[in-house]
Chain A
Amino acid sequence: MAPPGDHRRYWRANLRYLAILLTIWFAVSFGCGILFVEPLNQYRIGGAELGFWFAQQGSIYAFVVLIFVYVYLMNRLDAEFGVGE
């Protein structure tokens, strides 16, 4: 069992990852897909307007990538602090 100070630092690092990843999560869906859909629609990806594409395709791809990045970061963090199983 690691000392309590380590646990606190582990938890802080975890929270920092969460803050970064959830900011991206918000940006790709609520940001690109909803709030800024109009300005983004001036650009195109293939035959689709960019804002529309984010709302119906891009945000979903980003979600999948986000979870796998989170898994990678946390596995690394677990190993660093010796709290993995």
Chain B
Amino acid sequence: MASVNSRFTPENLETLMDVQTWTYLIVGATFLLYIGIAVWARAGSTTEFYVAGGGVHPIANGMATAADWMSAASFISMAGIISFAGYDGAVYLMGWTGGYVLLALLLAPYLRKFGKFTVPDFIGDRYYSNVARTVAVLCAIIVSFTYVAGQMRGVGLVFSRFLEVEINTGVYIGTVVVFFYAIMGGMKGITYTQVAQYCVLIFAYMVPAIFISLQMTDNIIPQLGFIADVNDGSGTALLDKLDQLHAELGFAEYTDGSKSMIDVFAITLALMAGTAGLPHVIVRFFTVPRVKDARISAGWALLFIAVLYTTAPAIAAFARTNLITTISDRPYTELPGWFSKWEETALVAWVDKNEDGRLQYAPGEAFMGGVDQQRADGARVPGPYGQALLNNAPTDNANEVYIDRDIMVLANPEIAGLPAWIIALVAAGGLAAALSTAAGLLLVISTAVSRDLMRKQIRPDMSEAEELWWARGGAAAAVIVAAYFGVNPPGFVAATVALAFGLAAASFFPAIVLGIFDKRMNRSGAISGMVVGIVLMFGYMAVYRLGWFVDAVPDAEHWWFGISPEGFGSVAMVVNLVVALVVSRLTAPPPEEVQDMVEVIRIPRGAGGASMH
């Protein structure tokens, strides 16, 4: 399985073998655990398959929701993004946590009382319309596929970096594992597996963070180390030191952003509303027994998420400081071993523009395009100091160094010189984060197929056993499509992830909130609002991110109100709200029984189990 890799030089062979052995051990043990849980908790009925029988304890549900929510991107990429974006990274921190407040206060308790299985169920019943249901099903499937492809890719990346297998082999292994437990266990299997995965991923995230916080600030809690003084005897606060380092090298201050205030505002709002409108998050609140459990579940989920999300900015600041002090103006030959190790994966690179043998780190791209190493007979061509030579044309700024944001978490333990088992742990944590999210999304897709399409629209008279087979078949088909996208990632993945949040914010979120809080909201209002919101979001993304219908992708100065495509979901959401309110007031009120249903979901009493009909 291991591919030949020139990284195995005799002198570091021993430590690398050690890391690899540890990785096989830890990753293998966690996989066995997940599969064991799936076998133990396999689903026997559709209720168990869709909502785990509706009997999951709120704390367990909170952990499962947290694991479901925190994807490969949260685990691997977020700290790195913050590390390079400084203050601007706050849009993700606030956006992906603040949404839970909206979810807990505006959606979760009422949807639990409503007592069906899916978001399209609610939209279809509340707006007494199969058109609305179908629009919701399509949105749910698009949003979930966008996400799941990224997860499979994440699984592949972790496998390739830590187990030395091809990325594609990694994707296949991940696919088989997810396939096995998502299809067998349904929501019940997934929920209990996710509880285990949360424990693995949070442990893997916290251990290196605590070690590095101790190293740099003598503080055992990273969140306190973040606002403490560095322990080099200077008495300078860590963040002040980082700002000074940035100033010396010509970067913008770390604690100041470069995005405009209105864009930061819009992106944060779009991510919050998008989070609250994502189908795979909402469905978690159908799995608890009572309305009050749905409320407290959201609290536990956010608490468990907040542990990672408040640690991420600390890791970001530690890693950034460590990185700059380690590499800036240092001779290549005196760099620690991790630099050349990650050079092998082409995630770091150095071009010696002024030929002084030292790394000059400054703002701007060091060279044109993505890293393209010179190779002869498959092996990289070493330069005068042993560095990997590049084919890329250098830029004319002073910067000589390229660092991929993703390595900030993955290489962190190595940079800090932590033992091999911790490095292996990080691999297992990244896999747990990717697998748990992928499984949750696959379930949404399979439910959309078996329940929202087959049961509700095509074959209402099928038996429960048949429906269960449709659900498993849907999950199987989805996992295969996801693996395909993992192996052949579409070039627009980054744009579509932003689109997923924008779409959820522009479509589901207003439709659900109005469905609960505005009794007068009717079918025409909700559908026209959703359609206008989706079209606006798609159109803006198509023109301003992908450059469709125009000659070139327009510059930032042409953005409407200075709002980027990532933040435009908040504008589309407001337009959706206004259109829905105006249209609903100009058309007939909803039927009596629908208005009664709204009254009923506002009162917790009598939620009962999630029902079939």
Chain B residues in 8 Å Cβ range of A34: 90, 261, 264-265, 268
Among B67-102, those with CB < 8 Å from A are: 82, 87, 89-90, 93-94, 97-98, 100-102
A65 to B333, CA, bound (A): 50
Can you give 11 contacting A-B residue pairs, CB < 8 Å?
A22-B105, A29-B98, A30-B268, A34-B261, A46-B237, A56-B87, A57-B227, A59-B98, A60-B97, A63-B306, A68-B299
- What separation, in Å, do the CA atoms of A67 and B100 have in the docked complex? 8
- Asked if A43 CB lies within 8 Å of chain B CBs, one says no
- Cβ-defined contact, A60 with B240, below 8 A: no
From A25, A41, A63, A68, name the one whose CB has the most chain B CB atoms within 10 angstroms. Answer: A63
Assembled-state Cα–Cα distance A11/B113 (Å): 15
Task: Bits for A27-67, please: 1 = Cβ < 8 Å to B, else 0.
Answer: 00110011101000100011111001101110111011011
> Contact partner of B295 among A49, A59, A70, CB < 8 A?
A70
- B609 CB → nearest A CB, Å: 12
The reply to whether A85 and B292 form a contact with Cβ atoms under 8 Å apart is yes
CB pair A18 B101 closer than 8 Å = no
With A10-B603, A46-B228 as given contacts, are A35 and B98 in contact (CB-CB < 8 Å)? no
B residues with CB within 8 A of A:
82, 87, 89-90, 93-94, 97-98, 100-102, 104-106, 109, 223-224, 226-229, 237-240, 255, 261, 264-265, 268-269, 290-292, 295-296, 298-299, 302-303, 306, 309-310, 313, 599, 602-607
Query: What's the Cα separation between A45 and B227 when bound, in Å?
Result: 7
Docked-complex contact B604 and A83, CB < 8 angstroms? yes
CA distance A84 to B289 in the complex (A): 13
> Quick check: B292 and A56 within 8 Å, CB to CB?
no
B606 to chain A, nearest CB (A): 7
CA distance A57 to B89 in the complex (A): 12
Chain A residues in 8 Å Cβ range of B224: 46
- Given A21-B105, A85-B291, A85-B606, are A60 and B94 neighbors across the interface (CB < 8 Å)? yes
Query: Measured between C-beta atoms, what is the minimum distance from B96 to chain A in Å?
Result: 10
Say yes or no: B239 contacts A47, CB within 8 Å: yes
Given contacts A55-B93, A60-B97, contact A18 B106 (CB under 8 A): yes
- Chain A interface main SS type: helix
Q: Which B residues are in CB contact (< 8 Å) with A1?
A: 605
Partner pick for B227 among A7, A37, A53, A70, CB 8 A cutoff: A53
Chain B interface helix/strand/loop/mixed: helix
Q: Which of B105, B261, B290, B292 has the most CB of A within 10 A?
A: B105
Which of A7, A11, A55, A59 has the most C-beta atoms of chain B within 10 angstroms of its own C-beta?
A55
> Given the complex of chains A and B, what is the CA–CA distance between A46 and B239 in angstroms?
10
Q: Which of A's residues lie within 8 Å of B, judged by CB?
A: 1, 7, 10-11, 14, 18, 21-22, 25, 29-30, 33-35, 37, 41, 45-49, 52-53, 55-57, 59-61, 63-64, 66-68, 70-71, 74-75, 78, 83-85
Given contacts A29-B94, A63-B100, A70-B104, contact A48 B227 (CB under 8 A): yes
Which residues of the partner chain A approach B313 to less than 8 Å between Cβ atoms? 56-57
Which partner residue on chain B sits nearest A74 by CB separation?
B295
A61 touches B306 (CB 8 A): yes
| Measured CA separation A49–B602 after assembly (Å) | 42
Contact partner of A25 (CB less than 8 A), chosen from B98, B223, B299, is B98
Q: In the complex, what's the smallest C-beta–C-beta distance from B572 to chain A, in angstroms?
A: 18
Cβ contacts under 8 Å, B227 to chain A:
45-48, 53, 57
Instruction: Evaluate contact between A47 and B229: CB separation under 8 angstroms.
Output: yes
Which residues of the partner chain A approach B97 to less than 8 Å between Cβ atoms?
59-60, 63
Using known A-B contacts A7-B603, A85-B607, determine if residue A48 contacts B237 with beta carbons closer than 8 Å. Answer: yes
Instruction: A18-B106, A85-B291 given; name 17 further pairs at CB < 8 Å.
Output: A1-B605, A21-B101, A33-B94, A46-B224, A46-B227, A47-B238, A57-B223, A60-B93, A60-B94, A63-B97, A67-B101, A67-B295, A70-B104, A71-B292, A71-B299, A78-B604, A85-B606
Q: In the complex, which of the residues A48, A49, A67 has the most CB atoms of chain B within 10 Å of its own CB atom?
A: A67
Q: Is the CB of A11 within 8 A of B299?
A: no
Least CB separation from A46: chain B residue: B227
Contacts of B100 in A (CB 8 A): 63, 67
The CA of A32 and the CA of B105, in the complex, are separated in Å by 21
Contacting residues, chain B, for A18 (C-beta < 8 A):
105-106
Q: Decide: A78 near B239, CB < 8 A? Known: A52-B255, A67-B104.
A: no
